Amino acid sequence: MARPVGLCELPRGSRERAVLVHCRAGFEREAADELAGHAAARGMSGTTEARPGLALFTPAPPVALARIAAALRYADLVFARQLLFSSALCTGLLVGDRVAPLVAAARAQANRYGEIVIETADTEASKPLLRLCRGLASPLRQALRSAGLLGDAHVDPAWPRLHIIFLRSDSARVGLSYPGNSSPWPMGIPRLRAARGAPSRAGLKLEEAFLTLLTAGEREERLRAGMVAVDLGAAPGGWSWELARRGLSVTAVDNGSLCGEASESRLVRQVRADGFRFRPARPVDWMVCDIVDRPDRVTDLVARWLLEGWCRQCIFNLKLPMKRRLETVWRCREAIGQTLAAARLRHRLTFKHLYHDRIEVTGYITRLS
């Protein structure tokens, strides 16, 4: 990975370097343990902190932000909705006098930013801080421009984004994210709307998966009208409808009934069957699976579809009602990896706890040959 641009050191004494990720409230421990696990695999030790909607990893002894940033990949982190590198914790911020210390911390962190994001944790308790974030947007932007710190992301898309993350009205972390190593959305939250006619909001989960787990090029190449998909555990039809909306022909497998436009679409054909036993008559482009079952059963099913050549790629959901959620995802990832590696099937597998996922994560696997 290219060395991140624009980093500079903070004066001694004001260093509060940490990796900070946004996550769904209730999943802070998983996000923190995952960060520590990835850091340890790259030879860094440190302490973790889980606070509502956020997880932090502070390397000990301190490590330059550039080194941490080069070691951690957003795409590899399952429970992180957004990946930030924070150089300072600004405390004692006073009403009417917040801009100057935040600009000073931003200046100490990097030479130039392409964008600024003012945010807080995605929790009920943090909602009142959103007003403060909105109110500061314009004065901070102006002050950063006057200081020559804020450029135009269109000029150089590699410039980092400046993040100001309010923890309380008088304290904020100052950090940055790299456009190629983070979510494009503030707090990692895509603003998607269920289109009219959607049978369920579950379709948003698949839409977010396409936007998050596939590159723009992959979406163009792999989600073309005329392609063929199988949707296992399809009812009431949100995922089938999302695929049909993109022009794919869908076999929707479920003993339950499809609703609304999914039941009326000429591109959706329902088969009442057990998704674990269903076999396609011929290979399809996509298999998607939202069956509520044990993660290891779903994992075996996905591996089987790829091994048998029944599909080229797959998006699937693993439900995580158990306590050891991080270990469960790691175990499933390893199981698929080992099964496919034994068959010499080259593949790419990514998991993400999407914004529209609740107690579950979404996986994307594609054959590489």
Ligand X SMILES: C[S@@+](CC[C@H](N)C(=O)[O-])C[C@H]1O[C@@H](n2cnc3c(N)ncnc32)[C@H](O)[C@@H]1O
Q: Does 360 bind ligand X (CB under 6 A)?
A: no
Q: Which residues pair with 268 in a beta bridge?
A: 250
Q: Which of 152, 170, 264, 274 binds ligand X (CB under 6 A)?
A: 274
Among 1, 60, 292, 343, binds ligand X (CB under 6 A): 292
Nearer to ligand X, 89 or 234 (CB): 234
Q: Which amino acid is at 22?
A: H
CA–CA dist 184, 311 (Å, integer): 29
- Residue 235 engages ligand X in binding (rule: CB under 6 A): yes
Mention every residue, 6+ apart, whose C-beta is less than 8 A from residue 187.
22, 81, 82, 119, 120, 121, 122
**Catalytic residue flag (residue 319):** yes
Query: Which of 205, 319, 323, 352 is the catalytic position?
Result: 319
User: At closest approach, how far in Å is the CB of 202 from ligand X?
Assistant: 3
Q: Is 239 in the site for ligand X (CB under 6 A)?
A: yes
Contact 251, 269 (CB under 8 A): yes
By the rule CB under 6 A, 253 interacts with ligand X: yes
Residue 208 contacts ligand X per CB under 6 A? no
Contact positions with ligand X (CB under 6 A) in 56-115:
none
Pick the binder of ligand X from 4, 175, 186, 233 (CB under 6 A): 233
Q: Which two tokens stand for residue 77?
A: 């982190």
310, 314, 304, 294: which is closest to 360 by C-alpha?
294
Q: Is 252 in the site for ligand X (CB under 6 A)?
A: no
Closest CB 277 distance from ligand X, rounded Å: 8
Q: Is 200 in the site for ligand X (CB under 6 A)?
A: yes
Question: Which residues, including other chains, have CB under 8 Å from residue 220's CB and lie 6 or more apart?
Answer: none
Q: Which of 175, 186, 238, 295 binds ligand X (CB under 6 A)?
A: 238
Closest CA to 204 of 242, 234, 237: 242
| Position among 28, 34, 122, 254 found at the interface with ligand X (CB under 6 A) | 254
Using the rule CB under 6 A, is 202 a contact of ligand X? yes
How many residues bind ligand X (CB under 6 A)? The answer is 23
Judged by CB under 6 A, the residue of 46, 188, 237, 363 near ligand X is 237
Nearest distance from residue 199's CB to ligand X, in Å? 6
- Cα–Cα distance for residue pair 1/4, rounded to 1 Å: 8
Closer CB to ligand X, 160 or 237, in the complex: 237
Q: What are phi and psi for residue 180, nearest 5 degrees? A: -85, 0
Contacts of 301 by beta carbon, 8 Å cutoff, 6+ apart: 232, 275, 276, 289, 291, 316
Question: Looking at 236, 301, 351, 355, which residue binds ligand X (CB under 6 A)?
Answer: 236
In the chain, beta strands by DSSP E: 18-22, 46-51, 54-59, 82-90, 115-120, 161-168, 171-177, 228-232, 249-253, 268-271, 284-289, 311-319, 347-352, 360-367
Active-site positions read: 319
Q: Which residues bind ligand X (CB under 6 A)?
A: 199-200, 202-203, 232-239, 253-256, 274-276, 290-293
